[in-house]
Every structure is written in C-alpha cells, then in structure tokens.
Amino acid sequence: MAVGHDGEDDVTAGEMPDGEAPRPSAASPISSGEPVIESGRMKFDEELKAMIVAKAKAKLEENRKAAKAAAEAEAAAKRAAEELKKNIQEETKAKFE
C-alpha cells in the first residue's frame, strides 16, 4: 500500500511510514476489550425494545378491558337471572292465593 503524505510529512493513508497499521488510542473501546457496537444499532435496539414494550402494554390494556367487560356482563346476567327467578316465584305464589 502506498503511503501518501501531505506537505508537512503527515501520513494520509492507512499505514504508518514504518509499515505498521495505526493503533487505536488507549481510550478506544477496541483496545479496552469492550465490544464495539455502532450507535445506530444501539438506537435501533432501544427503539425496538420501546416498540415491544408499547405493544405489550397495549395488549395488556386490551385484555384488561375485555376482562372487565366480561365480568360486568356476567354480573348483569346474574342480576337478570335473580330478577327472573323472583318474578316467577311471585307469579307462582299469586296463582295459589
């Protein structure tokens, strides 16, 4: 690989003049042994997590509303059955008086 120089003898290509590749600084995640993840990927992962959480919350709310509606319908049916039973008992009693 040819090494280019600007007018001040600064290296402008991917190799150092002695043939070695440039090394990352000590603060670099590459030299620290930490995994390197692009910030775009991290942002995508966070957005994906937020979408999953939002969908799960929406589904939970939907299920909660459905359960509440079912419980209310069951209670209304029990009240109607009790009212019908009471009416039948009153009509039967009136027939025998």
Q: What is the pLDDT along the chain (97 residues), one digit of tens a residue?
A: 444 545 555 555 555 556 565 555 555 555 556 666 667 788 899 999 999 999 999 999 999 999 999 999 999 999 999 999 999 999 998 888 7
Q: What is the mean pLDDT of the chain?
A: 79
pLDDT of residue 95: 85
pLDDT of residue 28: 52
DSSP of the chain? -PPPB-TTS-B-SSS-TTSPPP---TTSTTTTTPPP--HHHHHHHHHHHHHHHHHHHHHHHHHHHHHHHHHHHHHHHHHHHHHHHHHHHHHHHHHT-
The structure's pTM equals 0.47
pLDDT of residue 43: 86
For the chain, domain boundaries: 42-96
